[in-house]
């Protein structure tokens, strides 16, 4: 099992940052390479730009803790846990942490590579929203 964590300081209030990711169906807006998301209860099925479909189980979406957590349940994964945590650094400054833990290890590397781009998009959208407040 491998764990890979990326983080980014975002010039926006923590609730604004968490607001970007909290709607499960909004993931195509901020995760590069995910083109479609369908949500049914706590199950989200994403479709990637290469045409792959991956079912995910949403296991936490907590606006108080500002934590979004999900598991990819596709058969290729023996285990997966993805977490997005938003921590307040200042009233209009946040630390967003995107962690990927997976087995096989190789999948952690591949998915985490995608989360790096997602962090950039989360930052861009949150800072845009902060400026428009």
Partner 1 sequence: MGRKILFITTDQQRYDTLGVNGSVVGRTPVLDHLAATGIRYERCQPTSVVCMPSRASMLTGQFPTTHGAWMNGVPLAVDAPSVAENLHDAGYATALIGKAHFEPFMDPFGRYAENTLASLGIPTIEQPWYDGRMGVHRGFDYLEFATHGALGLLHYAKWMQTHHPEAIGSFYPVLDGDLNVNAMGGGDTGAPQVKVNDVPKEWYHTDWVAQRTMDWLSQQADDQDWFCWMSFPDPHHPWDPPRSEVSRVNWRDVPLPVNYPEKAAEREALLDAKARHWRAWYDGRLVSNYEAPAKWVPATMTADQVREVNALNAVEVELIDEAIGRVLQMIKDKGWDDDVDIIFTTDHGELQGDFGLLFKGPYHVDGLMRLPLIWRPAPSAQVAPSVVTAPVSLVSLAATFLDVANQPQPEWVEAGALPLSDEEASARRFDNTITEWDSELFGVAVHVRTVTTKKFLYTEYQKGTMHDGSEGELYDLVGDPLQRVNLFSDPGYADVRAELSERLRAHAARPNQKAELGVVMAPV
Q: Which residues bind partner 1 (CB under 8 A)?
A: 2, 31-34, 48-52, 54, 76, 104-107, 109-110, 113-114, 116-117
Element containing residue 95 per DSSP (H, E): strand 93-103
* Cβ-based nearer residue to partner 1, 119 or 126: 119
Least separation in angstroms between residue 113's CB and partner 1 is: 3
What string of DSSP letters covers 19-75?
Answer: HHHSSGGGHHHHSTTEEEEEEETTEEEEEETTS-EEEEEEEEEETTTTEEEEEE--T
Residue 34's alpha-carbon distances to 6, 62, 73, in angstroms, are: 19, 23, 16
Task: Tell me how far, at minimum, the Cβ of 45 lies from partner 1, in Å.
Answer: 14
Alpha-carbon span 92 to 98, nearest angstrom: 19
- Nearest residue (CB) to partner 1, 86 versus 111: 111
Q: How far apart are CA 42 and CA 91, in angstroms?
A: 31
Is the CB of 55 or the CB of 104 nearer to partner 1?
104
Contact 99, 83 (CB under 8 A): yes
Nearest distance in Å: CB 30, partner 1: 13
The nearest distance, CB 69 to partner 1, in angstroms, is 20
Comparing CB distances to partner 1, the nearer of 63 and 113 is: 113
């Amino acid at each position: 099992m491998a764990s890979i964590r990326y983080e980014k300081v975002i010039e926006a209030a923590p609730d604004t940052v968490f607001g970007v990711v909290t709607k499960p169906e909004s993931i195509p807006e901020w995760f590069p390479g995910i083109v479609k998301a369908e949500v049914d209860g706590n199950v989200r099925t994403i479709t990637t730009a290469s045409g792959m479909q991956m079912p995910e189980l949403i296991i936490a979406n907590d606006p108080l803790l500002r934590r979004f957590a999900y598991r990819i349940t596709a058969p290729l994964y023996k285990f997966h846990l993805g977490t997005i945590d938003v921590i307040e650094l200042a009233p209009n400054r946040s630390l967003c942490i995107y962690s990927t833990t997976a087995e096989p290890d190789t999948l952690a590397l591949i998915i985490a590579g995608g989360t790096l781009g997602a962090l950039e998009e989360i930052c861009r959208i949150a800072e845009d929203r902060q400026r428009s407040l």
